[in-house]
Structure 1
């Protein structure tokens, strides 16, 4: 049954595709992100302010989160579903060569921002017997070189989702962790500082998961009967599988 969904990180990639998919299914949408111009374009594309409300803020800014939620128009205050999509990976270097500022940004976005907006909306979600879908990653389970803090933040998201399920037992609120593998989006350009060659090398011939695939999965989870909870979904493109162990050999 359609309701009102709040989607963080909706200016591109998974978030924008999810807004389109949910609107097509009859949901009202609150779309958030830092780039107000992209949000305005999305609102216009998806039927105008009667159906879509844009809230431009940085998920790292707690005061901005509070202000955005406090100022929701009357017709958008009853949030039935929170999709915590906003997140990023920065850098591919090993831990000993990584930038500490990038680590802090990933933690502030992927962990602190996510828990802040979740905590803020929990009373509404409990009142409405709503749902939370958190975007984690296969990096939460399978470590890889250069994944360090990004993988750690996504492991937090997965475990936080399970912890929420435990705490919210009896409230009717559903919680799901979505854990994708290789997905083609702006994510990699952000991670590599806009390196198009790295982007092309990663996705070339891989037939990666697309944002619309994620959006369809999220809508399926949200559309299940209210007595059904999907705890976690781990998904990869068919082309992706599991790597071997590393072995550092002595000479």
Structure 2
């Protein structure tokens, strides 16, 4: 890659918000490294936007270390990989679902940020963590995902405190209800239950969050957007 190219890494880039972020950044002149587990989908998107596809599971320590070692330069990290599993009450909580949510949302964000920190500091870079309104507002059945996204929020704020005097900016973007495969994954393939989450509502689209990421990443180095809450007009 040319030394003057801006390099963005987007995790969870094979669909939904991650794909939208990759497309928006590429259209704004970034060279995008798309990272996710579903390589075939990544390669299709990467071919369309002139990016590079890398198969990556953010819950795998060795895979993240290998990715970091092979990446080289990095100006922007979008920690988007995450998700929810289940909508059980705490008394019925599935511990494996909770472990997956914490490992993917919280530790996945930690692994990527820690691994790419030297390159980001070298580049006077930017970290954008995709959080959720669930990291601000608890709801019945959401304890596992609430806990994970509260963890992402706390990590984002501490990282901002720890690096405010270093060449790194940190932003947390918290979307509300976005119509993607999120609920399909949460309900483990139950299409009817997933459809009911969005039916009759004014939903955000993945492209709305992609545009927010593009805008934050386009700002000059002296501007830091600490947090951004993005809601559909009918959600409060």
TM-score normalized with structure 2 length:
0.96
Aligned length, in residue pairs: 233
Matching of residue 28 in structure 1 with residue 31 in structure 2: yes
Counterpart for residue 55 of structure 2? 56
- Among 190, 193, 199, the alignment partner of 2:188 is 193
1:192 Cα deviation from its structure 2 partner: 0.5
Q: CA RMSD in A?
A: 1.2
Counterpart for residue 17 of structure 1? 20
Q: Unpaired segments of 5 or more residues in structure 1?
A: 242-251
1:159 Cα deviation from its structure 2 partner: 1.2
1:43 Cα deviation from its structure 2 partner: 1.5
Task: Return the alpha-carbon distance in structure 2 between the equivalents of residues 37 and 240 of structure 1.
Answer: 35
- Among 27, 45, 49, the alignment partner of 2:48 is 45
**Does the residue aligned with 1:71 lie in a helix, a strand or coil?**
helix
Tell me if the contact between 1:18 and 1:218 (Cα under 8 Å) persists in the aligned partners: yes
1:2 Cα deviation from its structure 2 partner: 6.9
Task: Return the alpha-carbon distance in structure 2 between the equivalents of residues 126 and 103 of structure 1.
Answer: 32
- Among 213, 218, 223, the alignment partner of 2:218 is 223
Tell me if the contact between 1:11 and 1:33 (Cα under 8 Å) persists in the aligned partners: yes
1:100 Cα deviation from its structure 2 partner: 0.6
Task: Return the alpha-carbon distance in structure 2 between the equivalents of residues 2 and 208 of structure 1.
Answer: 35
- Among 144, 167, 171, the alignment partner of 2:162 is 167
Counterpart for residue 114 of structure 2? 119
Task: Return the alpha-carbon distance in structure 2 between the equivalents of residues 3 and 233 of structure 1.
Answer: 23
Task: Return the alpha-carbon distance in structure 2 between the equivalents of residues 174 and 45 of structure 1.
Answer: 29
1:78-227 aligned at under 5 Å gives the runs 78-227=73-222
Q: Unpaired segments of 5 or more residues in structure 2?
A: none
**Does the residue aligned with 2:52 lie in a helix, a strand or coil?**
strand
1:67 Cα deviation from its structure 2 partner: 1.0
1:160 Cα deviation from its structure 2 partner: 0.8
**Does the residue aligned with 1:11 lie in a helix, a strand or coil?**
coil
TM-score normalized with structure 1 length:
0.90
Task: Return the alpha-carbon distance in structure 2 between the equivalents of residues 141 and 71 of structure 1.
Answer: 36
1:71 Cα deviation from its structure 2 partner: 2.1
Tell me if the contact between 1:2 and 1:25 (Cα under 8 Å) persists in the aligned partners: no
Task: Return the alpha-carbon distance in structure 1 between the equivalents of residues 30 and 171 of structure 2.
Answer: 19
Task: Write out per-residue CA displacement over residues 57-99 of structure 1, whole angstroms, 9 at most, x where no aligned residue.
Answer: 2110010011122223xxxx21000000000100011111121
Task: Return the alpha-carbon distance in structure 2 between the equivalents of residues 180 and 127 of structure 1.
Answer: 30
Task: Return the alpha-carbon distance in structure 2 between the equivalents of residues 208 and 101 of structure 1.
Answer: 30
Moved over 3 A (4+): none
The structure with more radius of gyration: 1
